[in-house]
Amino acid sequence: MIRLTHRVAGDEVPIFYPETDADLSGFRDFLDRNAGQVVAFDTETTGLHIYGAAFGVRLAQFGSCEEAWVIRVDRFAATIRETLAHPGRQWVAHNAPYDLLAVDRVGLAPFAELGPRMFDTYILAHLADPRMESEGGTGLGLKPLSAVYVDPEAEDTAKGLYAVFRSEYKATKETGWALIDIDHPLYIRYAGLDVIYTARLLRELGILIKGNGLSKLAHFEHRVQLITTSMQRRGMRVDVDYTRQLVAELAAEEQQYKAVAARFGVENVNSTRQVTAALQGMGEQWSTKTATGNLSVGKDVLLGMADLDHQWTRNNRRDPNLVADAVVRAKRASKWSTSYAQAFLDRRDDDDRIHPSIKSLAARTARMSVSDPPLQQLPSGDWKIRRGIIADEGMTIWSVDYSQVEMKVIAALSGDPNMLRAVASGEDLHTFTAKLVMGPRWATMTDTEKAKARKLFKGVGFGKVYGGGAAGLARQTGITYEEAKAATDAYDAAFPGIKAYGRRLQRQAQFGKFEVVTPFGRHLPLDRDRMYAATNYVVQSTARDLLAKALVDLDNQGLSDHLLLPVHDEILGQAPVADANEFAHEVRRVMESTFQGVAITADAEVYGSNWGMGYGAAA
DNA sequence: AGGCTCGGCCAC
DNA sequence: AAACGTGGCCGAGCCT
């Protein structure tokens, strides 16, 4: 038995590392002593990609506030399995989905059995303060949280190890986890410390959450997380042949346009300096700046010079600049390949499935995020990337999305009579707005003028949800500031309650804590210099919580086995071909609800055998 | 070489 | 008076 000690918040705590079967008796005593307690759990693995080749769990750690047990998986797998299987036992981990899926993947504990008995200190921390360190919050990592809630001197559990990876193993942050000697003292120490910190975090955050009346929300979030983690475990199938072909096509496109750019002296299309120089050399003049004040050569600038609109069709307003055209096309092809298509291929498991990492509670507003690969942000104006994701054998992909959910939430919360009428009317919201603003003039307008007005007020509505103003609207849409100002003023006059609601939120924050409290009871801190974001925070967060609640409802109805991915206001899933339509509509019925008297409606659509079919792809 | 910020770009 | 929200992730370029 190796025994290390460490100081945590002034206490000397032991870290035990059993080497023989006989050493395990102390571990059993530890478990008996903590029979009625929630015990902290953590794993050390070979790398971050749970579903990648050669993934392994090397250590399993168990701990209380007073001690840690670091158990080798290669020697004591049976004991770990038996320990985790104990039905009455409750556990806590920091970022539980990772450890749950890791032990599930290697057969140490089935997700369905361990998942419901696992608490997550990440969830509690997010409810206490959702901000990252860079935003003035505590941060949501184990280390920064421990420094705030447990011990200001808390060791960074990773930084020291990275130094060892580099100096002793010539390895990186990524590769060192698989290479470091399993009994390296620093590895054991850090493995053990993590569970002690986690146990103490649970104690501190538990008191805080209970004291602030957030226990119900915490329970809800654990339910939601279980459902999204189950989706991650299920994953989605990749059409490998199609995606390989797509990667090849994108590579050819990229090369073709890079060659054009090179003819004009742009050797590297990703170099903003080269692109700027080339365009200036051709006599182009523009004034759009980046955040740091440099001339911007982003998509908006380049598309304009290439005489293309946002749908990449010709404006016929000027001669297209061939460099701008080539650069913007080469960059798009490269982005689509590396971030999406190639990522599908690189991240797939042995069964050609990808398992995107789903954070059920991510943004300050509690919005979810998806990464590895980032499936919430695949191009939607073109079906080519989404075509690479296919339904399981005999299944059809469907989607149910809330219609205008943020506008319905803002209508309910502000109580603005016109907005309430608008969402109740069932009429297209932007047309309704345009009509309301135009008054009697609407009847005299041509269809083209009506469409233009609708588009304008669609932009205004989006801007309002984001807390934007006339200047932003002008920038987004290309109209003059005066036109934009007139439109936003008209909007405010049409829906005075929305503006008043924003002011009310800010006033309350000004004289209380700098936060908004959402209808679901979530406390969202505001930045003092961006108080105008208050409305957006409440609306975005409430819309997220409506979707999260829908996930729980679907789970309660036994429908969650067919869910694939949450996308903010949409749930993607699959169902057997024969009853996909019926299934999607059942999902729609469960998702639909009433929020403070306002009907929250959803639309169901059956796509077909691949995701792209919802976006124009053939079967 | 790895880590970091910035500019850029994809989504809702 | 005005105020454009939330993410993931890539390559370039700079720093250590």
Tell me how far apart the alpha carbons of residues A604 and A405 are, in angstroms, rounded to a whole number.
Answer: 15
CA to C1' distance (Å), from A335 to B9: 8
> pLDDT value at position A419?
95
Distance between the alpha carbon (CA) of A567 and the C1' atom of C7, Å: 11
Q: Is the pLDDT of residue A198 over 80?
A: yes
What share of chain A has pLDDT > 90, as a percent? 74
User: CA–C1' span, A476 to C4, in Å?
Assistant: 9
- pLDDT for position A549: 96
C1 C1' closest Cα residue: A469
Separation between the CA of A224 and the C1’ of B2 (whole angstroms): 37
pLDDT value at position A160? 82
- Strand B nucleotides with an atom less than 7 Å from a protein beta carbon: 1-3, 6-12
CA distance A249 to A255: 10
By the 8 A CB rule, do A43 and A57 touch? yes
Å from A63 (CA) to C11 (C1')? 42
The one-letter amino acid at A210: K
Mean per-residue pLDDT, A537-554: 96
Tokens 């050797």 -> residue? A267
In this complex, the nucleotide whose C1' atom is nearest to the CA atom of residue A310 is: B9
A428 phi/psi in degrees, rounded to 5: -55, 125
User: Which nucleotide has its C1' atom closest to residue A368's CA?
Assistant: C7
Nucleotide nearest to A529 (CA to C1'): C3
What's the Å distance between residue A363 CA and nucleotide C7 C1'? 7
Instruction: Give residue for tokens 């010079």.
Output: A305
Give me the CA A519–C1' B5 separation in Å, rounded: 37
Provide the pLDDT confidence category of residue A62 given band limits of 50, 70 and 90.
very high
pLDDT of residue A345: 92
Alpha-carbon distance of A600 to A403, in angstroms, equals 8
Taking all residues of chain A, what is their mean pLDDT, rounded to a whole number?
93
Span A126-179, pLDDT tens digits: 999 999 888 888 889 998 899 999 998 887 767 788 888 888 888 888 888 999
- Domains of chain A by range and CATH? 2-212 (3.30.420.10), 238-347 (1.20.1060.10), 360-403+541-615 (3.30.70.370), 406-529 (1.10.150.20)
Residue A211 has a pLDDT of 97
Q: Could you tell me which residue, A159 or A255, shows the higher pLDDT?
A: A255
Residue range A484-541, pLDDT digits in tens = 999 999 999 999 999 999 999 999 998 888 999 999 999 999 998 899 999 999 999 9
Protein-to-nucleotide distance from the CA of A373 to the C1' of C9, whole angstroms = 9
Q: Is the pLDDT of residue A335 over 90?
A: no
Nearest nucleotide (C1') to alpha carbon of A568: B12
pLDDT, tens digit, for every residue of A423-449?
Answer: 999 899 999 999 999 999 999 999 999
Residue A40: C-alpha distances to residues A283, A292, A321 (Å): 64, 45, 61
Among all strands, which nt has the closest C1' to A533 (CA)?
Answer: C5
Give A272 CA → B8 C1' in Å. 9
Task: List Cβ neighbours of A142 (8 Å cut-off, separation of 6 or more).
Answer: A94, A95, A121, A157, A194, A197, A198, A201
Does pTM top 0.85 for this prediction?
A: yes
Nucleotide nearest to A462 (CA to C1'): C4
pLDDT in tens, A461-471: 988 888 888 98
* Mean pLDDT calculated for residue range A312-324: 89
At A73 the pLDDT is 98
List of protein residues whose beta carbon is under 7 A from strand B: A 162, 166, 172-173, 272, 290-294, 296-300, 302, 328, 331-332, 335, 374, 376-381, 567-570
- Residue nearest C5, CA–C1′ metric: A466
pLDDT number for residue A136: 85
Identify whether the C-beta of residue A400 lies closer than 8 Å to the C-beta of residue A571: yes
Q: Which nucleotide's C1' is closest to A406 (Cα)?
A: B12
| Nearest partner of A152 among A357, A7, A305, A361, judged by Cα | A7
